[in-house]
Amino acid sequence: MRKQLRVFNSSVDILRQYNYESFSPLTWEDASDVSSAIYTINIPNEDDVPLSIKRSAIDAHTLIARCCREIKYLESEMSNALADYFNQCLEFESRLSLLSSRGGFEHSNFLQGLYSIIAHQLYDERVQLFAACDMFKKYVTPSLQVTDYIVKHTGQINVIDYYSADEEVANDEDDDSDIDDY
Q: 102-128 pLDDT, tens per residue?
A: 877 788 888 889 999 999 999 999 989
- Decide if pLDDT at 90 tops 90: yes
167 and 123 in a common domain: yes
Determine, yes or no, domain membership for 28. yes
94 and 37 in a common domain: no
What pLDDT was estimated at residue 64? 92
What is the C-alpha separation between 26 and 35, in angstroms, rounded? 14
Determine, yes or no, domain membership for 64. no
Burial of 158 (0-12, 13-18, 19+ CB in 10 A): exposed
169 and 94 in a common domain: yes
- Please give the C-alpha separations between residue 112 and each of 39, 44, 96, 103, 149, in angstroms, as whole numbers: 80, 83, 10, 12, 25
101 and 137 in a common domain: yes
Determine, yes or no, domain membership for 62. no
163 and 101 in a common domain: yes
Determine, yes or no, domain membership for 92. yes
158 and 111 in a common domain: yes
Determine, yes or no, domain membership for 82. yes
Which ranges in 27-108 belong to alpha helices (H)? Answer: 28-32, 51-100
Neighbours of 114 (CB within 10 A): 15
Q: Which DSSP symbol is given to 93?
A: H
State pTM to two decimals. 0.56
What pLDDT was estimated at residue 163? 56
Q: What percent of the chain has pLDDT over 90?
A: 31
88 and 129 in a common domain: yes
- Number of domains within the chain: 2
What is the residue range of 148's domain?
Answer: 77-180
45 and 8 in a common domain: yes
- pLDDT averaged over the chain? 79
What pLDDT was estimated at residue 44? 52
Q: How confident is the model over 25-31, as a mean pLDDT?
A: 75
- Decide if pLDDT at 71 tops 80: yes
- Decide if pLDDT at 67 tops 50: yes
Determine, yes or no, domain membership for 27. yes
Of the listed ranges 80-94, 101-115, 164-178, the least confidently predicted one is 164-178
